[in-house]
Structure 1
Amino acid sequence: MTLSIGPQHPGAGHMRIIVVVDGDIIVHADPDVGYVHRGEEKMSEYRTFIQNVPHIERPVIHDSSNILYSYCLAVEQLLGVQVPERGQYLRAIMSEIDRIHYTLYWLAILGIFLGHSTMFMWPAADRELFVELADMASGNRITHAWLVPGGVRNDLPEGFSDKAEKFLSYFEKRLVEYDKIFYDNPLFRQRSEGVGVLTRQNAIVYGTTGSVARASGVRFDVRKNEPYEVYNKLDFEVSVSNTGDSFARSILPIYDVRQSINIIRQCLKNMPKEGPVRAKLQPNPRGPPGEAYARVESGRGALGHYMVSDGTAKAYRHKISVPSVRNLLVLPHLLEGAKLADLPMIYWSLNIWPIEIER
């Protein structure tokens, strides 16, 4: 029997998965994408480097700073621009705020998939803390357009550090409750432990990234392995597991959230107390002909921008490498032989953001 999971079904998001089943066992799975194609790459070739800032964020609205971060780094390579130190710290702060924001949104949707209403309501409510912080800094709850080539759009408002510490202290206590209610829950463990096991070898062969790769024992985080801007000055751990199952892929993002809290605190403490936050650029900056590639660690894994310049104020070619595409490639492999009831758990544990695929 052939079934179509999605695209209207809330468990599939903006894509569908065509599965062939024998009883309740999946014998073949074929992801079908293309429902929300954005055309960001081609569109950016018709706009200047600065004009691209607002729409580059759109494929990942809950983790918009990270997709924009790597774009800005690539543009700055082409233009030969050095970001002021305070601006670099502010970028890291917003990047980690969005990482937490995205992870909580992802966890809430996982709760919907599993029919765990508390798992939906708690993260959905707690993410408002970090949406509020982003709004305070940038003026926008999501898609902040705060990171720009050369630095950030504006400095932090007065009182931001105190409010951030208040929220972080509260949320640290909440994470203890998350462990009790979610990850120590015997039903959650039954649905996730030993389900969709991905070996370390296959994680490498399929090119997985982020928490998906690290859950299978691949110790790689762009912030550690290829540190950019101030990340080589920050002290944090990379979370790794060797089980490779859906449980490991589901709990590692929460470990990452704890590290993000640590990073935000270090940035607020160590960054220069004053100074410029943005390098001075011409209205339509131009660089010499050349090419550049920059990547960062997003909430889903390594995310990069490759750009070719012909010496004008626009990119001649722009390619976005997103982690969701790489993690999607392993989905058919993990679904083959799995129970149909395990599909939602396996699918969402891969940290796939369908709209990002449609860049």
Structure 2
Amino acid sequence: MKVGETRRVHGLDVKRVDRDLYEVFIGPQHPGSGHMRIIVRLDGDVIVEADPDIGYVHRTVEKLSEGRRWIKIIPLVERMAILDACNVTLPYVEAVEKLLGIEPPEKAKYLRVLLCEINRIASHLYGMGIFGVFLGHSTMYMWAFGDREVFVELAEWLTGARLTHSYPIFGGVRRDMPQGFADAARKAVRYMRRRLEDYRKIFLDNPVIRRRLEGVGVIPRNLAIDLGIVGPNLRASGVEYDVRVVEPYEVYDELEFEVPVFEEGDALARAWVRVEEIRQSLNIIEQVVDRLERMPTEDGTSLIHQRFWPKAPLYRQVLEREGRVKIIPLMAAVKVPKGRAFARAEAGRGEIAYYVESDGADVPYRVRVVTPSFRNVLIFKYVVPGHRLADLPAIYGSIDYFPPEADR
């Protein structure tokens, strides 16, 4: 190839940019890079430079929020990370609650945590399944996606929707825990604990996989801090930082769980962190359902703040006749007092933060969100160079980068 010439090689666009360097465009086809493009420059098969080219699924979530009523923004923002819906929407709801000057009932807080941990497990299993595909390990993909379905079904039973639940609302949650849900959750917990041991045997301790991942894509502790990366990627580099512990929200300070931390900082450590976080989420789910079972529901006031609870006796009679509590909030045109609020949470891929500003209208003046994938994308630029091209899928899969969450 001549300098400046571009050719299609094995499905990739390859351009010779120098006498000794080739430029390879990976993506933005979904199967290859997940709605993004990585521009790598190669000296032979060694990556000299890697530029993550993001923005292919940018949907202007922040700008769209300025034209929607406060309650209607919840189903908008949760589409940034569909499998992690509650963790993504909860800090937005909490920020608005700060402006409204309200706090949800205790039972609603536990229900929020319950769905957050169910979503966290589903999100990690999704990432592990994609990781398996990137490494050519089809069994890991099929197992993780099959086990993910267990928790997707739990979320559907709790909220009424498989993926986009819109479950947390200002002052509480939409629905109570259904009858029999606690036993089903415990059964899912017992099943998943056994499966984690299977994952260790077939994937994490697989000699072939270990050779692909050990010492690959190492993020030193100091670099991880300097880049500002978050979530499992940060904790795999020896930094014990989790918003649920550093700045507890809802009822996390009342629950017992550990924050898994590994020191190696390589692709294998990042995989192990996610597996251990699943284990901790299972512990949290057990504690939450035990406590929820001891909280009887007399009416919807245990699920939502009194300000938004309809007090009409006829409304309560309808709910009692149906045998369940479902919140139909009187908040479609709620006006939020002037002010600014900030809230953050620990989503499946790391810290997610919202800045919300109101000018007193029924729509926000400003909504700003910083997602974990947007912060973690810098890993590609600083960690990938120096590795061989064949190592790129292993590094990518270990990062669990989700383009729609970053582009928002």
TM (normalized to structure 2)? 0.86
Percent of aligned pairs with the same amino acid: 49
Distance in 2 between residues matched to 1:356 and 1:162, nearest whole Å:
33
Corresponding residue number in structure 1 for 2:227: 206
Over the aligned positions, Cα root-mean-square deviation in angstroms equals 1.0
Shift of 1:161: 0.4
Shift of 1:309: 0.9
Q: Does 1:80 align with 2:101?
A: yes
Corresponding residue number in structure 2 for 1:273: 295
Corresponding residue number in structure 2 for 1:264: 285
**3-state SS of the aligned residue for 1:292?**
strand
Corresponding residue number in structure 1 for 2:144: 123
The answer on whether the counterparts of 1:58 and 1:64 sit within 8 Å (CA) in structure 2 is yes
User: Aligned partner of 1:302: which letter?
Assistant: E
Distance in 1 between residues matched to 2:117 and 2:24, nearest whole Å:
39
- Which one of 323, 326, 332 corresponds to residue 381 of structure 2? 332
Shift of 1:233: 0.3
Corresponding residue number in structure 1 for 2:335: 286
User: Aligned partner of 1:306: which letter?
Assistant: Y
The answer on whether the counterparts of 2:86 and 2:119 sit within 8 Å (CA) in structure 1 is yes
Residue ranges of structure 2 left out of the alignment (5+ in a row):
1-21, 309-329
Corresponding residue number in structure 2 for 1:357: 406
Distance in 2 between residues matched to 1:82 and 1:286, nearest whole Å:
17
Q: Does 1:112 align with 2:138?
A: no
User: Aligned partner of 1:328: which letter?
Assistant: V
Shift of 1:9: 5.0
The answer on whether the counterparts of 1:86 and 1:274 sit within 8 Å (CA) in structure 2 is no
Q: Which runs of 4+ in 1 moved over 6 A?
A: none
**3-state SS of the aligned residue for 1:99?**
helix
Q: Does 1:53 align with 2:51?
A: no
Shift of 1:151: 1.2
**3-state SS of the aligned residue for 1:313?**
coil
Query: Structure 1 residues 73 and 97 mapped into 2: Cα distance closer, same or farther (>3 Å)?
Result: same
- Which one of 36, 39, 51 corresponds to residue 15 of structure 1? 36
User: Aligned partner of 1:152: which letter?
Assistant: V
Q: Does 1:237 align with 2:252?
A: no
Distance in 2 between residues matched to 1:72 and 1:264, nearest whole Å:
22
Residue ranges of structure 1 left out of the alignment (5+ in a row):
none
The answer on whether the counterparts of 2:182 and 2:290 sit within 8 Å (CA) in structure 1 is no
Corresponding residue number in structure 2 for 1:306: 355
**3-state SS of the aligned residue for 1:52?**
helix
Corresponding residue number in structure 2 for 1:172: 193
Corresponding residue number in structure 2 for 1:151: 172
Shift of 1:265: 0.7
Q: Deviations over 1:312-350 (max 9, x none)?
A: 122101100101011111211111111100001112212
Q: Deviations over 1:184-237 (max 9, x none)?
A: 100110000000111110000000100111111111000011100100101100
More deviation, 280-289/7-16: 280-289
Corresponding residue number in structure 2 for 1:218: 239
Distance in 2 between residues matched to 1:126 and 1:294, nearest whole Å:
32
User: Aligned partner of 1:295: which letter?
Assistant: R
Query: Structure 1 residues 9 and 2 mapped into 2: Cα distance closer, same or farther (>3 Å)?
Result: farther
Q: Does 1:319 align with 2:345?
A: no
Q: Deviations over 1:266-296 (max 9, x none)?
A: 1111235124111133522223211011010
User: Aligned partner of 1:109: which letter?
Assistant: I
The answer on whether the counterparts of 1:86 and 1:277 sit within 8 Å (CA) in structure 2 is yes
Distance in 1 between residues matched to 2:172 and 2:353, nearest whole Å:
18
Q: Does 1:2 align with 2:14?
A: no
Q: Does 1:34 align with 2:83?
A: no
Distance in 2 between residues matched to 1:26 and 1:88, nearest whole Å:
47
Distance in 1 between residues matched to 2:30 and 2:78, nearest whole Å:
25
Shift of 1:358: 1.3
More deviation, 266-275/154-163: 266-275
User: Aligned partner of 2:304: which letter?
Assistant: R
The answer on whether the counterparts of 1:79 and 1:285 sit within 8 Å (CA) in structure 2 is no
Distance in 2 between residues matched to 1:196 and 1:56, nearest whole Å:
31
Aligned residues: 359
Higher relative contact order (CA 8 A, sep 6+): 1
**3-state SS of the aligned residue for 2:282?**
helix
TM (normalized to structure 1)? 0.98
